[in-house]
Structure 1
Amino acid sequence: MACSIALCVGAPAVLAESESLSAEELFRGLENAEFIGGLELYKSKLAQLRQQIDMSDARMRERYDRLACWYQPDSNKDEAFAAIAQAEQWIKAAKAEEHLAAQADFTLCRGWFRELIGEWTDAQSDYNAALALAEQAEDRRLVADALGARAELMAFRGDLGQALEDFQAAHHIFHSLGIRYWSTYYVSMIANTYRRMGDYVQARELLEDVIQQFRQRGDQDSVRQSETLLALTLDELGEFAAAEAIYADQLKNYREKNEQYGVLSTLISLADNRQRAGQPDAAWTYLKQAEPLLHLSYDGGTLALWHLLTAAVLVDKDQAESALVHIVEAEAPLAQHESLRYLSWVQKLKAEALAQTGQWEAAFNAMQIYQQTQETLAKKQRELTSTRLRVEFDSARKEAENEMLRAESRAQNARLESLEERRRWQGLVFVLSAVLLTVLGVWGHKQWRHSRRMHQLALTDELTGMPNRRAVYAYGGDILLRCIGDESAFSILVFDVDYFKRINDTWGHDVGDSVLQTLARISGGVVRKGDLVGRTGGEEFLAILPGADVGQATEVAERLRKRVEQADMRAVADDLTVTISIGVAQYQPADQDFPRLIQRADNALYAAKNAGRNRVELA
């Protein structure tokens, strides 16, 4: 097989660009991605190969067809369906010949084209079937191809734990087989999985190493692919200018090569980058440039992302009615693909747009779904972290076991030669064992420190230094159970900054951040000893008041409201006045759990907004 997902758009410099390559050299170069260049170069090499081989030789023809399957046209859906039909013909022929490896290769190829047109369930079935056939054929190379293809689809669909395991296994096989391009390529896929898991620092380090390796080999196409992943990582790290520079270079390259789908994807990435950076007008410009190219996407995902980003910009521009139209267009395909991260974004945008139109009940329902989705994502993130640590530990353990087996094998061979040799090798085994135990000890300590640091970061809001949503919700749930047990009072405050979007638009996001930091300091000084205030997202905060009935909670709320209203904001910005609206709720027996209590406080907050803002309302 073998070009798999990246379609051989770059590789290490192994074979010279010579027209006198033998058929075997051409086969090897195409199968192992040993040529440096883009898709057109590989197509020309495939055509050159066809001229050199005897197509009447059944085995030679099958080997050629296994390559040709991956280079079938796919510029539109009809071509992709035709490629699937052709792959099925090849699968049928391979079955008749009872050739398991060929069946696996053609099944992988069919799965790839099914994935292109958005038939993800059928594609995953093909990848699983191909993996089983490859294992039955005992073809390690095909096993790695199937694992890699399955992992990329699973990563895209959000099954990051299984994807990481498959990527690790595929990388290990390619590395052991000495196939350098695919070994390096799957390091980049492992890095991208770390990015999706939220470990952006590790992802960045791996990608920078991959880019350096491809650059040393003169493989500019692979450099650009890896730089795209690096730009996505930089966006997550908040380094928007660095990411924008990469996207701009990519866009220039795609336009020079007239690769329109690459232009479309990069324009959408630029729009997302500018929206994250707080520049909705720039994001809008890129989205309008991308709009005429949307017909090039036929899997639904790219179109859904365009609608979602367009809705985000329109919400920022207070064009809620138009935003809701785009939200509807984005929601259906994202729900079909079970993309929780983007569905969470959909619900948050929907809540903001509905609130702008005064549809408060619908906005509240959307925000409730958003919070539930966020909780599901948080749970999945905890599971993924556990899976990642297990995969990394298993990988290190297996490597240690393999090293021990190799050392023991060398010692056994030495014993057959002489007693002296045996003693020497036994000493070597002892040294290797000590080294491995030391390495595992250092690795374990590093993982412990990393886990401890991640736990601390996971409970703190980076901007304000306050407890974040996860921390304050956990504390509130614990306090609620305690107050129910001893039948004591318990109240909460939900509050946010009035007209916060106007502050950002007028004075800029830096001033907005300073306002949130100032509000954090004020609220921390107003609440009572034993109370806890945390930032739950955006400009919204939650205060936990153990032992406070609704009257006491209202006193704290009014004190906080007045302190914010009277706060001197001249150090933040001239002519800036900040007010907040607060919803107060005391626990009642009808509240089934902590989220239900928060819902009532949220309703009171919306009532405060409707009543003119800068006020306290009781649930």
Structure 2
Amino acid sequence: MPVPRRLLHALFAAALLAAATAAPASGSAAGFDRVFLQIDDGEIAVDDDRQIADALRRLQSLLPAGDARRARRFQATRCGLQFRHDSKAALAFAARGLAESRKARDTEAQARFEYCRGYAYESSDNDAALAAYARGLRIAGGAEDARLMGDGYVLRGSIRSLQGRQALALGDFLTAQTIYDRAYLARRAETNLLNIGMAYRRMGVYAQALVYLRESEAYARALDSYPDLYSALVQEGYAFEEQNQADAALRVFGQALAIAQRSDAIDRGYARLGLANGWLAKGDGTRALEQVTQARRDLAIDHTADHEPMLDQVEARALAMQGQHRAAIAAFGRAEALMHEQDSARYLVLLHRARAASEEAVGDDGAALADLRAYVALDTRLQRESEGEQVTLWRMRFDTGRRDLERARLDIQRRGRDQQIRALQRERPWRWLALMLGTSLLTALGALAFAQWREGGRLRRLALSDALTGLANRRQILRLGQRAFRAAQHDGEPLSLVSLDLDHFKQVNDRHGHAVGDTVLARVADAFAGALRRQDHLGRSGGEEFVALLPGTGADEAAAIAERLRQAVAALSITPGLAVRTSAGVATSRDGDRRLNDLLARADAALYRAKAAGRDCVIAAD
């Protein structure tokens, strides 16, 4: 989903200064600045057209004639609201304003124009938007304006989040939060909680995300700020939908739509798109199609619908749910073109898997296999990037902790020296006290260093293991696989790989709940581990997907081990009415293999054939 347009009210609230092009001769610089800050800090509401018009009239009466600096601020912020639905006009206006502000060396106006230009780019070119926000942020640093600097970090973080770079986005949001807190910009700091929650949601850290999103919702309700409340509810809705909690998602998206009735069509369109996703999670393709059709009409403003791939993606899934697979395949094609244009890998991976099912349904097995291979390749890349994001996040926390430790160490050291000096100056017998203080200082520093060393070890272990099952995660099992592949080539020994996937696992979560689903995954992992040999390696490569590495194992023996794994799962008894089954694909190294991915691709293709053959079976690669 694009960044909600409500963000603009917080970052460009001062844009209301700009709608008028001339002011009366009588004006008040102090009055203008006071009202400017009231609007910029959210004390004067600018949430609808009437409020905007009232604020503009008030500001117009206060703008001093002949004040060049305030006039440039007036024009720079004009982009924010006057051209909200006309990105081309906003870009042209910003270009002219930048030229004038550079000539006048007005850094504040330059930063505002760059931010305005970045927002105009968001509907069509995220890379251009990111570049504009980065330029504006550099300029804001020179202007030493806390508001502009904090807003720049928020804007840049929003684009990074859209591009899937969640750890970097979270770093930007947290930096903005620090700036806002130090400058006592409480309104901005509270609004930024939504961005932090959104970044955690996109990282899949839903518990942490909902903490921030609900705090943002509570703050919006306390202020009776429906734009902020709308944004918080939309993000909460997607947090529930992505966890397959359809009823909760529909309830929250319904609240967002009710609030959007007080706003513009863009907000209504995205609320309806959220509802469509909720109905898909509920399994009701008809209602999902109704909502996405209405959303497309609402998002026709400023050609937003033409650049929103999720409209076609959701429509395709709804059509497939109704059995209209050929129409679904066509809609998936439209969505894919936009996703490639916008580099939306996060949604492309879902598209390939969903389209493969429709292609299989119409008998186009070749296209289905191609989509499945594209899914496997892209999912592998995203898993690697996701693990990299987690490691980056842990590294950020580790570095923050290390800096805090260093500051604590220096502070303890300084206080210890001061106490020693005072003690020696008072009386010589107090030297023993100074010695004791020094010993205490060294003990405290040793304890702090040991705690930091233990935390570093814990973070390293987390980066290589799956938290739920305790198995190696995708990053670690692939690392072990590369090592085993090189050893097999060097020693001339065979290497086999088993790709396993739990059958109909989504139904387990839907019917029994995610707590039971987590129990199933943990029990399956234990069953797999118990069926393998000491020299084998086992990892969880995805949600319900596992990989077993079998060093020194030929094709026949590998197939027998895979069958043993399948039987171990079939023998599990977890809860009444729940039968767990698994399909497996087996591949053994060949002379022509150059990398582990060759072996993995054959195993995945064999797994796909096992699924197509009715599931709960083992298929060996050709």
TM-score of Structure 1 vs Structure 2, range by shorter chain: 0.7 to 0.9
- CA distance in structure 2 between the partners assigned to 1:336 and 1:85 by the alignment: 23
Task: For residues 360-381 of structure 1, give each alpha carbon's deviation from its aligned partner in whole angstroms, at most 9, with x where no partner exists.
Answer: 3433332222222222222322
- The aligned runs of 1:26-65 (5 Å cut-off) are 26-36=35-45, 38-40=47-49, 41-65=51-75
Equivalent of 1:598, from 597, 600, 604?
Answer: 600
Specify the alignment match of 1:153 in structure 2: 159
Is the contact made by 1:94 and 1:102 (CA closer than 8 Å) also made in structure 2? yes
Task: For residues 99-153 of structure 1, give each alpha carbon's deviation from its aligned partner in whole angstroms, at most 9, with x where no partner exists.
Answer: 22222222322222222x3233333332233233333334343333333222222
Q: Does 1:25 align with 2:38?
A: no
- CA distance in structure 1 between the partners assigned to 2:450 and 2:284 by the alignment: 45
Task: For residues 218-250 of structure 1, give each alpha carbon's deviation from its aligned partner in whole angstroms, at most 9, with x where no partner exists.
Answer: 444323323333333344455443333221111
Q: Does 1:381 align with 2:386?
A: yes
Specify the alignment match of 1:73 in structure 2: 83
Specify the alignment match of 1:366 in structure 2: 371
- CA distance in structure 2 between the partners assigned to 1:560 and 1:382 by the alignment: 27
Specify the alignment match of 1:139 in structure 2: 145
Q: CA 1:559 to 1:193, structure 2 compared with 1: closer, same or farther past 3 Å? A: closer
Is the contact made by 1:151 and 1:164 (CA closer than 8 Å) also made in structure 2? yes
Question: Which AA in structure 2 matches 1:451?
Answer: L
Q: CA 1:360 to 1:529, structure 2 compared with 1: closer, same or farther past 3 Å? A: farther
Question: Which AA in structure 2 matches 1:171?
Answer: Q
What is the CA-CA distance between 1:287 and the residue it aligns to?
2.6
- CA distance in structure 2 between the partners assigned to 1:562 and 1:442 by the alignment: 46
Question: Which AA in structure 2 matches 1:173?
Answer: I
Q: Does 1:189 align with 2:195?
A: yes
- The aligned runs of 1:171-182 (5 Å cut-off) are 171-182=177-188
- CA distance in structure 2 between the partners assigned to 1:303 and 1:559 by the alignment: 47
What is the CA-CA distance between 1:343 and the residue it aligns to?
1.9
- In terms of mean alpha carbon deviation, does 206-215 or 321-330 score higher? 206-215
What is the CA-CA distance between 1:185 and the residue it aligns to?
2.1
What is the CA-CA distance between 1:440 and the residue it aligns to?
7.6
Q: Does 1:451 align with 2:473?
A: no
- CA distance in structure 1 between the partners assigned to 2:307 and 2:175 by the alignment: 29
Question: Which AA in structure 2 matches 1:71?
Answer: L
- CA distance in structure 1 between the partners assigned to 2:38 and 2:446 by the alignment: 41
What is the CA-CA distance between 1:334 and the residue it aligns to?
1.3
- In terms of mean alpha carbon deviation, does 24-33 or 391-400 score higher? 391-400
Q: CA 1:606 to 1:254, structure 2 compared with 1: closer, same or farther past 3 Å? A: closer
Specify the alignment match of 1:103 in structure 2: 110
Is the contact made by 1:7 and 1:39 (CA closer than 8 Å) also made in structure 2? no
Question: Which AA in structure 1 matches 2:71?
Answer: R
Is the contact made by 2:125 and 2:342 (CA closer than 8 Å) also made in structure 1? no
Specify the alignment match of 1:425 in structure 2: none
Is the contact made by 2:275 and 2:288 (CA closer than 8 Å) also made in structure 1? yes
Q: Secondary structure at the match of 1:298?
A: helix
- The aligned runs of 1:279-358 (5 Å cut-off) are 280=285, 282-296=287-301, 298-299=303-304, 303-358=308-363
Is the contact made by 1:211 and 1:227 (CA closer than 8 Å) also made in structure 2? yes
Equivalent of 1:124, from 122, 126, 130?
Answer: 130
Task: For residues 552-599 of structure 1, give each alpha carbon's deviation from its aligned partner in whole angstroms, at most 9, with x where no partner exists.
Answer: 2344455667888999999427xx9x9876543322222223321232
Task: For residues 138-188 of structure 1, give each alpha carbon's deviation from its aligned partner in whole angstroms, at most 9, with x where no partner exists.
Answer: 434333333322222222223334333332332222222222111222233
What is the CA-CA distance between 1:61 and the residue it aligns to?
2.8
Question: Which AA in structure 1 matches 2:168?
Answer: Q
What is the CA-CA distance between 1:268 and the residue it aligns to?
1.4
Q: What residue ranges of structure 1 are gaps of 5+ in the alignment?
A: 12-19, 421-429
Question: Which AA in structure 2 matches 1:247?
Answer: F
- CA distance in structure 2 between the partners assigned to 1:274 and 1:105 by the alignment: 40
Task: For residues 327-372 of structure 1, give each alpha carbon's deviation from its aligned partner in whole angstroms, at most 9, with x where no partner exists.
Answer: 1111122112222211222222233333333333433332222222
Specify the alignment match of 2:25 in structure 1: none
Task: For residues 454-489 of structure 1, give each alpha carbon's deviation from its aligned partner in whole angstroms, at most 9, with x where no partner exists.
Answer: 44763646xxx8776556555544444444444444
Question: Which AA in structure 2 matches 1:125?
Answer: A
Q: Does 1:83 align with 2:90?
A: yes
- CA distance in structure 2 between the partners assigned to 1:53 and 1:119 by the alignment: 35
Q: Secondary structure at the match of 2:592?
A: coil
Specify the alignment match of 1:8 in structure 2: 10
Is the contact made by 1:396 and 1:440 (CA closer than 8 Å) also made in structure 2? no
Q: Secondary structure at the match of 1:54?
A: coil
TM-score by length of 1: 0.77
- In terms of mean alpha carbon deviation, does 105-114 or 513-522 score higher? 513-522
Is the contact made by 1:145 and 1:170 (CA closer than 8 Å) also made in structure 2? yes
Q: Does 1:490 align with 2:495?
A: yes
- CA distance in structure 2 between the partners assigned to 1:547 and 1:8 by the alignment: 61
- CA distance in structure 2 between the partners assigned to 1:31 and 1:580 by the alignment: 57
- The aligned runs of 1:145-544 (5 Å cut-off) are 145-255=151-261, 257=262, 259-276=264-281, 280=285, 282-296=287-301, 298-299=303-304, 303-395=308-400, 444=452, 451=459, 454-455=462-463, 458=466, 460=468, 473-494=478-499, 500=504, 504=507, 536=541, 542-544=547-549
Q: Secondary structure at the match of 1:491?
A: strand
Q: Does 1:552 align with 2:557?
A: yes
Q: CA 1:322 to 1:442, structure 2 compared with 1: closer, same or farther past 3 Å? A: farther
- CA distance in structure 2 between the partners assigned to 1:402 and 1:521 by the alignment: 45
- CA distance in structure 1 between the partners assigned to 2:465 and 2:92 by the alignment: 51
Is the contact made by 2:12 and 2:40 (CA closer than 8 Å) also made in structure 1? no
- CA distance in structure 2 between the partners assigned to 1:400 and 1:565 by the alignment: 51
- CA distance in structure 2 between the partners assigned to 1:399 and 1:477 by the alignment: 38
Question: Which AA in structure 2 matches 1:366?
Answer: D
Is the contact made by 1:522 and 1:563 (CA closer than 8 Å) also made in structure 2? yes
Is the contact made by 2:201 and 2:239 (CA closer than 8 Å) also made in structure 1? yes
Q: Secondary structure at the match of 2:9?
A: coil
Q: Secondary structure at the match of 2:586?
A: strand
Task: For residues 193-214 of structure 1, give each alpha carbon's deviation from its aligned partner in whole angstroms, at most 9, with x where no partner exists.
Answer: 2332333333332333343444
Task: For residues 34-89 of structure 1, give each alpha carbon's deviation from its aligned partner in whole angstroms, at most 9, with x where no partner exists.
Answer: 224624324421221102333443334334334433221323xxx32223322333
Task: For residues 500-554 of structure 1, give each alpha carbon's deviation from its aligned partner in whole angstroms, at most 9, with x where no partner exists.
Answer: 49x959x957799699899778766766665566665577654444443222234
Is the contact made by 1:31 and 1:67 (CA closer than 8 Å) also made in structure 2? no
Is the contact made by 1:84 and 1:110 (CA closer than 8 Å) also made in structure 2? yes
Specify the alignment match of 1:14 in structure 2: none
Q: How many residues align?
A: 579
- CA distance in structure 2 between the partners assigned to 1:241 and 1:610 by the alignment: 32
Is the contact made by 1:9 and 1:222 (CA closer than 8 Å) also made in structure 2? no
- CA distance in structure 2 between the partners assigned to 1:358 and 1:466 by the alignment: 37
Q: CA 1:402 to 1:586, structure 2 compared with 1: closer, same or farther past 3 Å? A: closer
- CA distance in structure 1 between the partners assigned to 2:268 and 2:451 by the alignment: 43
Q: CA 1:243 to 1:439, structure 2 compared with 1: closer, same or farther past 3 Å? A: farther
Q: What residue ranges of structure 2 are gaps of 5+ in the alignment?
A: 14-27, 427-437
Q: CA 1:336 to 1:564, structure 2 compared with 1: closer, same or farther past 3 Å? A: same
Question: Which AA in structure 2 matches 1:113?
Answer: A
